[in-house]
Structure 1
């Protein structure tokens, strides 16, 4: 059917091909549920094969529904149980994924935890724990992915999930360690982008007569959401009902975001649609931090 007939989807050779993730292999950490799972589903819809990494013994029931839908889309969703603090096993899993497909094209690092503890009372071991997961864990996941991207000589795209809280102090929300960890994630993305943006060709690939000697690029960006209305946040509103009233008033759109509103950002950042974007923070907070 003709393109003018309106039946050809975006992200195909006929319309907006730069958004297509066909044949790409992408990792999403923290994808057993929540934002990570929603973004994984968007990547599947764009044609990617997705490997989810999470520390939960079993992913959420919604995960299995998405995995079933992936088959209908002609692709697949896989689950790997791993705590990002377990670096040796993290590296083994990511390397095995690269070996299975002969490539690794993208990573969305969404694994993280949040705590509300007043600074004057914050135990040192709790600070160490949140930084270990939110910063070191993200760093090690990006490192493991980048090694495979370099190994196969295809480059790739990495998105680190930050937060508007990496830039601002949230009024009425006492989470100094979390906010500091997200500020570190934003800075980490910039530094990785500067190191990995113009890499020399992989020796393993240039050894082949048919290989191109051109440099390869790994793009690294961060995505900073605002407040997201999830089941967890909804439960939090039961404990702090004033937040249900106040939080929507703190941004320019007068409402909270939904996980599905970050689907497009995931596809954009993983696809060639963002091919000249690196070292950037895509802040999607409804204007919260722009007052």
Structure 2
């Protein structure tokens, strides 16, 4: 290992399982995901800075690494004149973000969270963000578990190999499998002794004019987007109440619950998302006494694989939709990573019955 001659700036100690050591996140000099580990016995740090050669120390890998960039001691190099091998902080684990590490309120360490509709799209991206924040994540989805080569498989592999976290898949239909929802939620709570959060992202879309909508299609839409959301939230909340655990529930709504989308014929979908916003307010009022917070997240247009196929079918929308918001662009699922962590963590601990709208200013016009 190269000799380090420059001063290291140390933050507050991080609690770790080994009682004989204390770890300090390194910042300013290093932006790599490393931690300085010092023996507690015989070590005194008189100031916030200390020459490295005066300390008995070793560098250890942090609890998380930069997304997609495997850790390597060979990349450490000589600090004198070396450049940062991770030039962008985009995709960094929340635990290592920022010059002094992220506020502890955003940590989801030791939390157990369910994400419905988490096999793909927005749900999967948010599930990965929760894993990075320290949570154990259980995914509910009606599709068979995606196999090797899928985006889900990549996230599951990264969770195990890089993040040292657990991602578990459960095949369940939120509309038809109410008994399964309750059974699985209880199994999760019993397995971990806790169930702390939910992101209810399962939902469907259908573009049909109001004059042509069938009763069967409307029942299916409302069954998944409203009843399915309620049943999922109910199953999770029952375990929170049973175990007396204050928790946080985030229901994925949409800006379409606030506005009528220009040129988009989705009357029942829009109504279902408005219902989700109102549902959250009522659940928040009922479950607040148990310490359970319930909020909604209302995204704008998101370019998922499904939307990308729609834009290929209607190419004029790719030019028109960005002009309908104040930022002049469409969002990506990654734009909602921070919102997921915020809503499920203590960072939003005094927030309930609220709608967090992230739509590029679309609904503000």
TM-score, normalised to structure 1's length?
Answer: 0.91
Residue 283 of structure 1 corresponds to: 357
Query: Which residue does the alignment assign to 2:334?
Result: 260
- Aligned residue for 1:75? 165
Tell me the secondary structure at the aligned position of residue 79 of structure 1: strand
Quick one: which of 295, 298, 307 aligns to 1:224? 298
**Cα distance between partner residues in 1 of 2:102 and 2:126:** 22
Which blocks of at least 5 consecutive residues in structure 1 are unaligned? 200-216
Per-residue Cα deviation, 1:167-220 (whole angstroms, up to 9, x for no partner): 100000000000000000000000000111123xxxxxxxxxxxxxxxxx0000
Deviation at 1:234, TM superposition (A): 1.3
- Residue 119 of structure 1 is matched in structure 2 by 210
CA RMSD of aligned residues (A): 1.5
Counterparts of 2:334 and 2:364, CA distance in 1:
22
Which one has the bigger helix percentage? Answer: 1
Matching of residue 103 in structure 1 with residue 190 in structure 2: no
Q: Structure 1's 14 and 54: CA in aligned 2 closer, same or farther, altered over 3 A?
A: same
Question: Structure 2 CA distance, aligned partners of 1:105 and 1:120?
Answer: 43
Instruction: Count residues in correspondence.
Output: 274
Q: Is contact 1:33-1:59 (8 Å) kept? A: no
Please give the per-residue CA displacement for 1:223-247, whole angstroms capped at 9, x wherever unaligned. 0000001121111112111101100
Q: Which protein, 1 or 2, shows the higher relative CO under an 8 Å CA cutoff with sep ≥ 6?
A: 1
Give, in whole Å, the separation in 2 of the partners of 1:283 and 1:11: 25
Select which of 233, 241, 246 maps to 2:320. 246
Distance in 1, matches of 2:359 and 2:101, equals 33
What SS class does the counterpart of residue 353 from structure 2 fall into?
coil
Matches of 2:191 and 2:143, distance apart in 1: 23
Q: Please give the secondary structure, in 1, of the residue aligned with 2:211.
A: helix
Task: State the match for 2:309 in structure 1.
Answer: 235
Picking from 2, 7, 27, the partner of 1:5 is 27
TM-score of the superposition, structure 2-length normalised?
A: 0.73
SS class of match (1:120): coil
Larger Rg: 2
SS of the residue corresponding to residue 248 of structure 2 reads: strand
Give the 4+ runs in structure 1 shifted more than 3 A: 6-15
